[in-house]
């Protein structure tokens, strides 16, 4: 008699406001799903941070919501994380300060100083990115160094959320290249190591930066203490994983040069896969989760802007009615060009050192709320147009845009197909989860990608 054994992989997607846990089999079919919300905090309007312990507790709570017998069968853990999420840690991996996340803007002064010291061209030549406040975490390190010098001196490691988690899971400080790209201190262009030049110019001790481990490598084995917290079996392999966007690109199949991925959720994100780094001062550049690939990336607020609009302009309408009935009908039957223009900076501009604010313009006495809605829907896709325009002559772009994310319903899909007439769209569900699963299989030697 032949006995078939099923391998279970646990995928953990640590987002800005929630954790998504998915139990997968070896074919990457999703068997169980758990979502655990958590909160980030906003202080002084521009300080945006999250308690790392809160995130880990969400992981433990989520694990305990699975059936115990299934958790005991998990044979690999793979994770992706929001990025950046800078955490200063002591020698034991305990956080010395809340995680400063990608929405943070406190370090504008430090960003300007770093740019002046290094120079725009040199930043792009080495890291491929300019030091955007919050979006490139070196500015947050410099802010901590200036405002909390004792903390900087006492910190053993400055890493991202995955560094903190891997220290708990395996006892090892580590970061992957997709996260390292967004520190501003990594040699993204040549997929090297920590830049000696950048660290020396900015006076940052390279010994305080974690070991760089490829996204598909096994960082270590789940240790006894983490096993006791979670119920997962001690000794299972823990795969390094990647940034959530990079994992989504892998999961969606955006691996070949010219592949385009559009993630529609709280934010609108576009990535273009390339086999040669093409830095530009108006976009981000990071390594892909797979070898010899990079991701060109732009981001702005998306579904978050739409929900803000619903609360302010359609407050009489319940969310379900607005999203399930009104919005699809508006997109299908009444959406048209408008003289009203929306500048999409409700959450600032992630591609600028100076802070920007959103605005409506082109308003007349004839402008109604549907004009504002049309302007908002058109405006939040500005970074997609920007990236496509910049790279249409630099990269042989594919004509199918892969589309994923929580905002991808039928109305959104039809709207994008109508608006981006030169491209067709292909919907891919659960892209980050699939990416985590693929990285796990690669780490275990079961998928060479």
Residues 6-38: pLDDT tens digits?
A: 789 999 999 999 999 999 999 999 999 999 999
Q: Which residue has the tokens 């967004």?
A: 182
Q: Report, as ranges of residue numbers, the positions in the chain whose pLDDT lies below 70.
A: 1-5, 448-449
Listing DSSP states for 126-181 in one string gives HTSS---TTTSTHHHHHHHHHH-HHHHHH-SEEE-HHHHHHHHHHS--EE-HHHHG
In this prediction, residue 1 carries a pLDDT of 35
Burial of 59 (0-12, 13-18, 19+ CB in 10 A): buried
**Predicted confidence (pLDDT) per residue in 69-118, tens digit:** 888 999 999 999 999 999 999 999 999 999 999 999 999 999 999 999 99
In this prediction, residue 5 carries a pLDDT of 53
In this prediction, residue 4 carries a pLDDT of 44
Task: Tell me the CATH number for domain 8-246.
Answer: 3.30.420.40
In this prediction, residue 180 carries a pLDDT of 98
In this prediction, residue 2 carries a pLDDT of 39
Residues of the chain with CATH 3.30.420.40: 8-246, 254-427
In this prediction, residue 449 carries a pLDDT of 55
Measure CA 397 to chain center: 22
Please check whether the domain covering 254-427 is classified as CATH 3.30.420.40: yes
**What pTM was computed for the model?**
0.93
**Predicted confidence (pLDDT) per residue in 127-171, tens digit:** 999 999 999 999 999 999 999 999 999 999 999 999 999 999 999
């Amino acid at each position: 008699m032949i006995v078939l054994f099923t391998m279970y992989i646990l995928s953990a997607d640590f987002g800005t406001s929630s954790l998504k846990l998915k139990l997968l089999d070896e074919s990457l079919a999703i068997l169980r799903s758990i979502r655990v919300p958590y909160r980030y905090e906003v202080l002084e309007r521009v300080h945006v941070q999250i308690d790392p312990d809160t995130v880990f507790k969400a992981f433990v709570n989520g694990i305990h919501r699975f059936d115990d017998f299934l958790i005991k069968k998990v044979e690999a853990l793979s994770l992706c994380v929001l990025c950046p999420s800078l955490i200063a840690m002591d020698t034991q991996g305990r956080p010395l300060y809340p995680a400063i996340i990608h929405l943070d803007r406190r370090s504008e002064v430090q960003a300007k100083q770093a740019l002046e010291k290094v120079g725009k061209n040199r930043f792009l030549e080495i890291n491929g990115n300019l030091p955007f406040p919050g979006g490139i975490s070196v500015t947050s390190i410099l802010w901590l160094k200036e405002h909390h010098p004792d903390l900087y001196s006492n910190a053993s490691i400055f890493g991202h959320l995955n560094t903190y988690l891997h220290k708990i899971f395996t006892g090892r400080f580590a970061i992957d290249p997709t996260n390292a790209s967004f520190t501003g201190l990594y040699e993204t262009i040549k997929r090297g190591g920590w830049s000696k030049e950048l660290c020396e110019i900015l006076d940052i001790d390279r010994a305080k930066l974690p070991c760089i481990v490829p996204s598909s490598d096994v960082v270590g084995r789940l240790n006894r203490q983490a096993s006791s917290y979670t119920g997962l079996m001690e000794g299972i392999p823990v795969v390094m994983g990647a940034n959530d966007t990079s994992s989504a690109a892998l999961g969606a199949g955006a691996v070949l040069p010219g592949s385009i991925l559009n993630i529609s959720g709280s934010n609108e994100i576009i990535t273009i896969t390339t086999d040669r780094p093409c830095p530009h001062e108006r976009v981000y550049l990071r390594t892909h989760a797979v070898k010899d690939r990079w991701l060109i990336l732009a981001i702005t607020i998306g579904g978050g802007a739409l929900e803000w609009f619903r609360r302010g302009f359609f407050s009489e309408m319940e969310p379900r009615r607005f999203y399930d009935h009104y919005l699809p009908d508006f997109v299908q039957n009444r959406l048209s060009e408008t003289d009203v223009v929306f500048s999409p900076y409700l959450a600032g501009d992630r591609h600028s050192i100076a802070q920007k604010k959103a605005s409506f313009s082109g308003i007349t006495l004839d402008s109604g709320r549907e004009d504002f809605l049309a302007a908002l829907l058109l405006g939040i896709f500005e970074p997609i147009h920007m990236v496509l325009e910049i790279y249409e002559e630099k990269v042989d772009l594919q004509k199918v845009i892969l589309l994923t994310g929580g905002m991808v319903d039928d109305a959104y899909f039809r709207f994008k197909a109508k608006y981006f007439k030169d491209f067709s769209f292909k919907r891919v569900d659960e892209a980050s989860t699939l990416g985590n699963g693929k990285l796990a299989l690669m780490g275990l030697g079961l998928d060479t990608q």
